Structure 1
């Protein structure tokens, strides 16, 4: 047996099991979501009625779905912007400045990312408690009683309370990613810029950001996908979609319709919309942020 044939057999043995698992657990379920979105089915009976695009027509007239859509968009925008700002800021400080105990701070920042979302929900439930919660207590300590709120009970601000928890959870993960990119930038670039009289801010905007831009582009896609996924878990663990449905997001509403109201086909129609929306938005963001690759 030739070396080429042996090599091909070895590659096939390694790849085929992964392909089989991908087909079973990704491709087939995805196909089933699209297929079941065309049926009216309760999910627990053998009766499946083909209705074509009727589920999608109902969807666009469903004000509860539209509200969950708006909430998801708001979370994606707010969480992405705030997480990016804080993650880049802290990454720059810990990478470029001589901070005592830098490794300690890296660990501390990363801890929220390894916590269960249920634990995070418990933490922020205590923080947002209107009577004895940390946030209102701190505001009261600084005589800012007018800013004290029912953080999880006011329909106008509760979605922003969820955004705060998601940002806190995500900062450490993206900070580490940005730090790895920043650490690879030659120190001579900054030394040359300093000799030319460039300020720290100018160095950051002219050297650091352009040279880590490919990493930033990648994380922007992560922001979108992770916010859609984690917002569902946090809503279920922290607010249950309340008050009065004001924190319902894409996936929580899909779950309620598919398994709570026994309208499985309608829930899968929502899943199809989420699937298409996620990939479309990620593709648009990737195209908009495309830049020439800078080499050094």
Structure 2
């Protein structure tokens, strides 16, 4: 059930936030979003899990953070479906989340294209990503080839560095296309020094738990090797949203004055 359209951008791009169900799976928490045909099983390393409908896991208020504020932030942030956090070995929060964008291009399902076509599409990202640098606080965008899940599903990979009202961040994110729509999965850290490959690894682990319902009636016969027209995915003013710098970015606020329990250096306070 679609809960409502949160924001409509140019080129008919639509962000949605939907209702969910939450259950405890053997390997962690399972989230279901029927409105966009996604279910995801999260690793049990995520101690704090939130979406627009549910709070699951440990009590993050022990860090001086109001969990209701996180839920409200998710509800008010276009495109974000959940927020999952854990504390890394350096006592910084790592945040993983998902966003969804309805696409205008009719690519169908990324999984139906050959590895050769997807590789050519990926090669085009290198130049296209340069256009995003300098917009919406993005400092750098690096294309990191294609990741295939154990089930053979392809995801394009990127590492982004940027800055927002919360400070400087590094994000490793993956996206795929299914049912003509875009599914993004991110892991971000505000730590001053972070291994970008480890962020990508977290995001890879994230998508291994993803199941997407594919519409078999949708054809995958576009010229995807020619690249993706990002102007049709989002307006120029939404570059940050398209490349993961804006979607959900401000759900995490750095509050260096608040160092409760384990001296965790990043908190999740505001939208």
Specify the TM-score bucket, using the shorter chain as the normaliser: under 0.3
- Compare the two structures and name the one with the higher strand fraction: 2
Greater length-normalized contact order (CA 8 Å, ≥ 6 residues apart): 1
Larger radius of gyration: 1
Normalised TM-score (structure 1): 0.22
- Compare the two structures and name the one with the higher helix fraction: 1
Normalised TM-score (structure 2): 0.23
